[in-house]
């Protein structure tokens, strides 16, 4: 095993610091340790970071398996009411009993059992081991293997509820043949028109006559009372193709052209004109609403209080308006219930609505007041009442209990003295009262409920604090017992360091920017270390890890002699609307003003961080950002590795780019393009692209290369045959490391052709 001695004083350094520039043997040793850091050996040095609770069907007990060094295992049974822990079984007696039947010896500390089923009285257990099914009496420890297990109570693995459990798609599936709820009718599209077939006598009535094969009706949807059909007259649009060449296709001596439909910003959508059809009266009425020219036909939520009316949602192209509209299936008249507008954008993928037709209510999440919060909408009067409020963010809703009128949700930033990206769980009433914190400890949490939701297991951690698992009571969130705490002692004993959280003020001198720092294990605070930023500034989320993290590429890259950092600048998600809005029509900004201040503040705290040698790397949107750092901030960033970047937002996918860059496609798209600005390159650049990238078209990177060549710029380029959307895989990672070692440390990387690392 490779071990480094560590002597680190993080806050005190000598006055005269020299830049780290390892000698040949030291550099090779660092490479070997970085490889060791990435190796599977280290996966056996951290234990019990989470548990998989298997609940008995009566909800009174659960069991789980603990892991230790050298494949030692322990099976634990927990009484949910008290939190008392006991062995699930007598490990020695079971090993002896199994050994007696199998005529071999088993180590009681290393029993590997799977598919365990325990009876509710806990006196019988079945399980699989060594490709056999076993049955054991836990009173007598008489065991036998059998071809079919004696039926025992199934164990229940209860995952936390997801928003998808309660939120249906906003888009209507396509139907050309749809049977009515009462089974009496069938709506069929034939020859482009809607026909209704009486399933009792097979008589057919044609309701529309203006549909054609080129402009047919479709997306038929029945009312719950089987009296109406909602359908759409379509003007189809077929997406154009993008291409790439598979240069190393097995079985041929020629490159193979591949293609796929791909909608880019500005491309038109299929349009949908809504019509309302009365089955009994055989009439068709056009709905009084604009043609839908953005996204598919909407999902319909029919009223119970008035079965002839329904609600549907509309997002306008440009992402600046969202509506919930009521339509009358008899008259075709419509009225707007919710109308949200903004001068920037509404994050379409995060629009949340849950319809409660029994009470004519809608649970809605919106950023309309500057922070993402829950609202209760009365869908008849249009009255909107806040359920949550404050300078914090509702991340998502996990479940809605219409009987108790309670909402279970996740939120970020409610605890003022804590990292605002930590995720906590809460429960609140529809009226905004009785807010109950379910996860009070600092950290990012994940909870899993018992089958009856009476109890839950709360697992939480921080970036440098190992996970803890607690058993809590759902009624009031009170803790019953500590269940588990991760063991990282073997990892630390091997010489590894944990990353550190760090925050500093952003460009407004008020807002905190949060991130993490990875230091090399072999560390001399008297030396100055180059800083490498792992960047991804995509506005769809925040990206710096918040739960316990060890190892990974950032740590192994640091082992080569770097300080590796990651943070979330303005323009990313999970903060205020104002924080997020910075990205609007402004993706080239990428939060660089905040990132640069953050790294400078880090160097003030840790003078061994060398702000004169700063690099960055990223993939996809991060690839765009990495090159953008060199183009727009060459005074700070000196080297970048850019992988499969969406370097021009006109080339990348429509749904992502129009969300942030807006519609129509205007000159700001060109002005912020890395291709347009390629002539500004000053630092050292490595471009990586997979030739078979079906996410971001490879020509995005090739066009950057073309622009750089025409501008007479020097850069490195790596195209990987057969590789999809990635940072280049294992080979790309090696090239990335070698590039930074050469450009930031000024040292030659290992000569792999001569097996220098062997």
Per-residue pLDDT tens for 276-317? 999 999 999 999 999 999 999 999 999 999 999 999 999 999
**Domain co-membership, 106 together with 215:** no
With a pLDDT cut of 90, the percent of the chain lying above it is 87
Q: Tell me the pLDDT band of 8, cut-offs 50, 70 and 90.
A: very low
What is the per-residue pLDDT for 162? 43
Is the confidence at residue 173, as pLDDT, over 80?
Answer: no
Domain that holds residue 596: 505-748
Is the confidence at residue 165, as pLDDT, over 50?
Answer: no
Element housing 700 (H / E)? helix 699-710
Domain count, the chain: 3
Cis, peptide link before residue 664, omega less than 30° from 0: yes
pLDDT in tens, 529-577: 999 999 999 999 999 999 998 878 999 999 999 999 999 999 999 999 9
**Domain co-membership, 175 together with 295:** yes
What is the per-residue pLDDT for 493? 87
**Domain co-membership, 560 together with 705:** yes
What is the per-residue pLDDT for 556? 94
Secondary structure of 491-532 as H, E, C letters: HHHCCCCCCEEEEEECCCCCCEEEEEEECCCCCCCCEEEEEE
Q: Is residue 633 part of a domain?
A: yes
Q: Tell me the pLDDT band of 496, cut-offs 50, 70 and 90.
A: confident
First to last CA, the chain: 15
**Domain co-membership, 663 together with 582:** yes
What is the per-residue pLDDT for 5? 39
**Domain co-membership, 520 together with 664:** yes
Q: Is residue 87 part of a domain?
A: yes
Could you give the CA distance from residue 348 to residue 317 in angstroms, rounded to a whole number? 10
Distance of CA 159 to the CA centre of its chain: 17
**Domain co-membership, 646 together with 548:** yes
Q: Is residue 374 part of a domain?
A: no
Q: Tell me the pLDDT band of 497, cut-offs 50, 70 and 90.
A: confident
Secondary structure of 83-102 as H, E, C letters: CCEEECCCHHHHHHHHHHHH
Q: Tell me the pLDDT band of 523, cut-offs 50, 70 and 90.
A: confident
Q: Is residue 95 part of a domain?
A: yes
Average pLDDT over residues 51-64: 94
pLDDT in tens, 420-446: 999 999 999 999 999 999 999 999 999
Query: At a CB cut-off of 8 Å and minimum separation 6, what does 237 contact?
Result: 267, 268, 269, 270, 271
Q: Is residue 249 part of a domain?
A: no
- CATH assignment at residue 674: 3.40.50.1820
Average pLDDT over residues 745-754: 95
3-state secondary structure of 657: helix
More confident residue, 151 or 693: 693
> β-strands 393-401, 384-386: how paired?
unpaired
What is the per-residue pLDDT for 10? 46
pLDDT in tens, 469-492: 999 999 999 999 999 999 999 988
C-alpha torsion 377→383→387→393, nearest 10: 80
Query: At a CB cut-off of 8 Å and minimum separation 6, what does 131 contact?
Result: none
- Given a contact cutoff of 8 angstroms between Cβ atoms, the answer to whether 65 and 83 are in contact is no
**Domain co-membership, 293 together with 343:** yes
Q: Which domain-ending residue is among 146, 180, 211? A: 146
The DSSP 8-state label assigned to residue 656 in this structure reads: H
**Domain co-membership, 632 together with 731:** yes
Across 438-499, the runs of DSSP E, i.e. the strands, are 444-449, 455-462, 465-473, 479-485
**Domain co-membership, 132 together with 192:** no
**Domain co-membership, 590 together with 676:** yes
Could you give the CA distance from residue 614 to residue 533 in angstroms, rounded to a whole number? 8
Could you give the CA distance from residue 643 to residue 534 in angstroms, rounded to a whole number? 12
Structure tokens at 107: 């180590």
What is the per-residue pLDDT for 494? 83
pTM for this entry? 0.93
Q: What DSSP letter does each residue of 589-624 carry, written as one string?
A: TTTHHHHHHHHHHHHHH-TTEEEEEEEEEEETHHHH
Q: Is residue 516 part of a domain?
A: yes
pLDDT in tens, 667-682: 999 999 999 999 999 9
Q: Which domain-ending residue is among 130, 146, 162? A: 146
**Domain co-membership, 178 together with 139:** no
The DSSP 8-state label assigned to residue 745 in this structure reads: I
Q: Which domain-ending residue is among 315, 347, 379? A: 347
Q: What DSSP letter does each residue of 555-567 carry, written as one string?
A: HHHHTTT-EEEEE
Q: Is residue 614 part of a domain?
A: yes
Q: Tell me the pLDDT band of 16, cut-offs 50, 70 and 90.
A: low
- Dihedral over Cα of 326, 330, 331, 332: its sign: positive
- CATH assignment at residue 231: 2.140.10.30
pLDDT in tens, 619-653: 999 999 999 999 999 999 999 999 999 999 999 99
**Domain co-membership, 198 together with 134:** no
Please state, rounded to an integer, the average pLDDT across all residues of the chain. 93
Q: What DSSP letter does each residue of 664-686 carry, written as one string?
A: S--HHHHHT-TTTTGGG--SEEE
Q: Is residue 272 part of a domain?
A: yes
């Amino acid at each position: 095993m490779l071990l480094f001695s560590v002597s680190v004083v993080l806050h005190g350094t000598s006055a005269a610091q020299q830049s780290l520039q390892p000698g040949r043997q030291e550099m090779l040793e660092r490479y070997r340790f970085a490889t060791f850091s990435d190796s599977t050996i280290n996966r056996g040095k951290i234990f019990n970071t989470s548990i998989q609770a298997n609940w008995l069907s009566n909800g009174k007990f659960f069991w789980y398996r603990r892991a230790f060094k050298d494949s030692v295992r322990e099976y634990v049974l927990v009484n949910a009411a008290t939190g008392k822990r006991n062995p699930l079984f007598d490990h020695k007696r079971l090993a002896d009993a199994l050994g007696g039947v199998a005529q071999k010896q088993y180590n009681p500390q290393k029993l590997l059992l799977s598919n365990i089923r325990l009876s509710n009285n806990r006196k019988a257990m079945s399980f699989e081991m060594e490709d056999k099914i076993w049955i054991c009496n836990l009173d007598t420890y008489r065991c036998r293997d059998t071809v079919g297990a004696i039926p025992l109570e199934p164990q229940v693995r209860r995952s936390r509820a997801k928003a998808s459990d309660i939120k249906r798609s906003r888009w209507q599936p396509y139907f050309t043949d749809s049977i009515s709820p009462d089974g009496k009718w069938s709506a069929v599209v034939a020859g482009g028109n809607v026909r209704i077939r009486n399933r009792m006598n097979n008589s057919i009535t044609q309701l529309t006559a203006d549909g054609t094969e080129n402009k047919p009706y479709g997306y038929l949807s029945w009312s719950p009372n089987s009296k109406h059909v909602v359908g759409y007259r379509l003007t189809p649009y077929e997406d154009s193709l993008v291409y790439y060449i598979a240069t190393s296709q097995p079985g041929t001596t020629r490159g193979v052209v591949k293609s796929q439909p791909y909608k880019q910003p500005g491309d038109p959508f299929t349009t949908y004109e809504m019509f309302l059809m009365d089955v009994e009266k055989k009439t068709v009425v056009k709905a009084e609403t604009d043609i839908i020219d953005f996204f598919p036909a909407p999902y319909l939520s029919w009223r119970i209080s008035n079965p002839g009316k329904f609600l549907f949602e509309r997002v306008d192209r440009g992402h600046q308006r969202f509506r919930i509209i009521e339509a009358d299936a008899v008259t075709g008249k419509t009225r707007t219930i919710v109308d949200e507008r903004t001068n920037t954008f509404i994050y379409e993928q995060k629009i949340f609505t849950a319809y409660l037709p029994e009470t004519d209510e809608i649970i809605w999440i919106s950023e309309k007041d500057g922070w993402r919060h829950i609202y209760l909408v009365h869908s008849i009067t249009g009255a909107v009442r806040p359920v949550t409020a404050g300078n914090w963010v509702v991340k998502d809703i996990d479940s809605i209990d219409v009987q108790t009128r309670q909402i279970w949700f996740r939120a970020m930033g409610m605890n003022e003295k804590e990292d605002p990206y930590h995720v906590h769980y809460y429960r609140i009433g529809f009226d905004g009262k009785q807010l109950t914190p379910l996860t009070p400890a600092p950290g990012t949490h994940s909870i899993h409920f018992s089958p009856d939701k009476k109890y839950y297991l709360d697992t939480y951690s921080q970036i440098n604090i190992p996970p803890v698992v607690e058993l809590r009571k759902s009624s009031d969130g009170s803790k019953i017992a500590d269940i588990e705490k991760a063991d990282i002692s073997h990892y630390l004993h091997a010489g590894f360091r944990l990353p550190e959280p760090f925050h500093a003020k952003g460009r407004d001198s008020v807002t905190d920017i949060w991130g993490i720092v990875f230091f090399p294990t072999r560390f001399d605070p008297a030396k100055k270390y180059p800083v490498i930023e792992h960047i991804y500034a995509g506005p769809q989320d925040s990206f710096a890890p918040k739960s316990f993290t060890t190892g990974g590429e950032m740590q192994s890259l640091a082992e080569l002699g770097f300080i590796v950092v990651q943070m979330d600048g303005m323009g990313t998600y999970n903060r205020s609307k104002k924080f997020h809005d910075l990205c609007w029509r402004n993706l080239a900004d990428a939060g660089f003003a905040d990132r640069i201040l953050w790294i400078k503040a880090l160097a003030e705290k840790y003078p061994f961080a060398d702000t004169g040698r700063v690099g960055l790397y990223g993939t996809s949107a991060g690839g765009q950002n990495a090159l953008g750092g060199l183009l727009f901030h060459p005074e700070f960033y000196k080297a970048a590795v850019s992988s499969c970047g969406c370097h021009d937002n006109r080339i990348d996918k429509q749904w992502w780019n129009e969300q942030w860059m807006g519609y129509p496609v205007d000159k700001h798209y060109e002005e912020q393009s890395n291709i347009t600005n390629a002539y500004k390159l000053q630092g050292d650049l490595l471009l990586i692209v997979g030739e078979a990238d079906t996410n971001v078209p490879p020509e995005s990177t090739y066009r950057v290369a073309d622009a750089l060549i025409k501008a007479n710029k020097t850069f490195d380029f790596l195209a990987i045959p057969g590789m999809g959307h990635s940072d280049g895989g294992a080979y790309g990672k090696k090239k990335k490391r070698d590039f930074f070692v050469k450009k930031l440390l000024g040292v030659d990387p290992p000569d792999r052709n001569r097996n220098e690392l062997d």
